[in-house]
Structure 1
Amino acid sequence: MSALRDANIAIGEAFYRALEVGDFAALAELHSDDVVFNLVGSTPVSGRWEGKDVCFGPVVADGVIGKLQPETIQFSREWRIMCADDNRVVGLMKGGGIGTNGHEYAQTYCQIMTIRGGKISELHEFFDTALVELVLNDNPTANGPSEVAKPFVF
């Protein structure tokens, strides 16, 4: 193992631990000022977002955290680093809370973090966009979310 890979794993672990305790200031400090978020799907938070102020303001604070009941929020209930190298860390995480509309936001995420200079410089994040629409945007599908026959297991 390389020292850089080990350092990147430590950054990934710090990312999930900050989310686990709800320390969004510590989470933001792990990202470069010019970080880019690439978020899957066609929801209001989807797309390519550039800069820490934008990513942690309109996207995270307003688009996710602001749509959940504060006392119910807990991200990183379960998480795991899946792989890492000298440039990237890939992890999986489960977490969420109860939406301000009363629906449960039990989300599963996959994050691909590109790390440069000891900071996360780019994040690709994959998640259930139907759940984002239902809970965070109060935009349900006609029949609501489907029950998963064979749920994903960590």
Structure 2
Amino acid sequence: MPGSRDANIALATRYYEALAAGDFDALAALHSEDVVFNLVGSTPVSGRWVGKEECFGPLVADNVVGKLVPETVQFSRQWRIMCADENCVVGIMRGGGMGVNGHEYIQTYCQVMTIRDGKIAELHEFFDTALVELALNDNPTVRGPSTPARPFEF
């Protein structure tokens, strides 16, 4: 059942605030039990992840946060809601930490959240897959990362 645009913006705001605070229990509570995460690319974290247990266990805890130095982790260092309606919110955020392999992982994410019954029911997430491979999987590209001449701003 669709919610209101304002309620969905409030939910997305709580999502980004929980990430900024590192409160993954509060973050998980914002998702439906059968949530689906769809992650771009062909990395070990890419693909379709189904259910809160799988999404917040093997995916988030093990394959992202677990590969970062704990005291450096802060997601939602910067975030912005780009658009919203009664079914969906699109947001963008920057955050991360230092990889345990010594590579910095400050990622920019675009999230498309489908909201049902006041919970995030599905998430499509877009991010720099080369950075995931380097900092989280210790799998650098041949040339390594480059700094864009015109950095992305939001």
Same fold (TM over 0.5): yes
How many angstroms does 1:115 deviate by?
0.2
Q: Which amino acid aligns with 2:86?
A: D
Tell me which residue corresponds to 1:71: 71
How far apart in 1 are the matches of 2:78 and 2:135?
Answer: 20
Supply the distance in 2 between the matched residues of 1:144 and 1:52 (Cα, whole angstroms).
34
Q: Deviations over 1:90-139 (max 9, x none)?
A: 00000000000010001000000000000000000000000000000000
- CA drift of 1:61 comes to 0.3
Question: In 1, distance between residues paired with 2:116 and 2:126?
Answer: 21
Q: Where do 4+ consecutive residues of structure 1 move more than 6 Å?
A: none
Determine the C-alpha separation between the residues in 1 that align with 2:142 and 2:122: 35
Q: Return the alpha-carbon distance in structure 2 between the equivalents of residues 118 and 8 of structure 1.
A: 7
Q: Is 2:57 aligned against 1:57?
A: yes
Name the counterpart of 1:18.
Answer: 18
The one-letter amino acid paired with 1:105 is: Y
What is the deviation of 1:142?
1.1
Tell me which residue corresponds to 1:150.
150
Flag structure 1 segments of 5+ consecutive residues without an equivalent: none
What one-letter code is carried by the residue in structure 1 that aligns with 2:54? V
Q: How many pairs does the alignment contain? A: 153
Cα distance in 1 between the residues matched to 2:110 and 2:132: 15
Distance 1:121 1:36 in 2: 6
TM-score (norm 2): 0.98
Q: How far did residue 84 of structure 1 move?
A: 0.2
TM score, norm. by length of structure 1: 0.98
* Sequence identity percentage: 74
**Correspondence 1:98-137 to 2 at 5 A:** 98-137=98-137
